[in-house]
């Protein structure tokens, strides 16, 4: 089977996307803190879908924050200053 140039480019792009997805961390945060977390993320000018994403948790009263590793330290520091409890998912 001969691999064409176009197929090779598709494979490379897919692998790059897979590598980017692996650079995300997941945290569980209580639902009552969702508004303050979104304010903190907006203050840092992070983009929804690119730098972070919200998801639902299996445990009911929590949500999952999926965040790019580049911003992990800054966001965690601000969450601690605002007394928001965070658990790794």
DSSP annotation of 2 reads P
Distance in angstroms between the alpha carbons of the first and the last residue of the chain: 42
pLDDT for position 21: 60
Domain annotation covers residue 78? yes
Domain annotation covers residue 80? yes
pLDDT reading at 22 higher than 70: no
**Averaged pLDDT, 59-85:** 91
pLDDT reading at 20 higher than 80: no
Domain annotation covers residue 18? no
Burial class (CB in 10 A: 0-12, 13-18, 19+), 46: middle
Contact between residue 50 and residue 61 where contact means Cβ atoms under 8 Å apart: no
Domain annotation covers residue 57? yes
Q: For position 39, which CATH number holds?
A: 3.30.70
pLDDT reading at 57 higher than 80: no
Which domain does 83 fall in, by range? 24-88
* Count of domains observed in the chain: 1
Domain annotation covers residue 17? no
Domain annotation covers residue 44? yes
pLDDT reading at 16 higher than 90: no
**Averaged pLDDT, 42-56:** 91
């Amino acid at each position: 089977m001969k691999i064409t140039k176009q197929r090779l480019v598709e494979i490379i792009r897919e692998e790059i996307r897979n590598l980017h997805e692996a650079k995300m961390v997941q945290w569980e945060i209580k639902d009552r803190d969702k508004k303050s977390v979104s304010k903190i993320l907006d203050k840092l000018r992070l983009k929804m879908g690119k730098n972070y994403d919200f998801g639902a948790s299996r445990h009911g009263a929590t949500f999952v924050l999926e965040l790019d590793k580049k911003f992990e330290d800054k966001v965690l520091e601000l969450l601690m200053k605002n007394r928001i409890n965070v658990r790794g998912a």
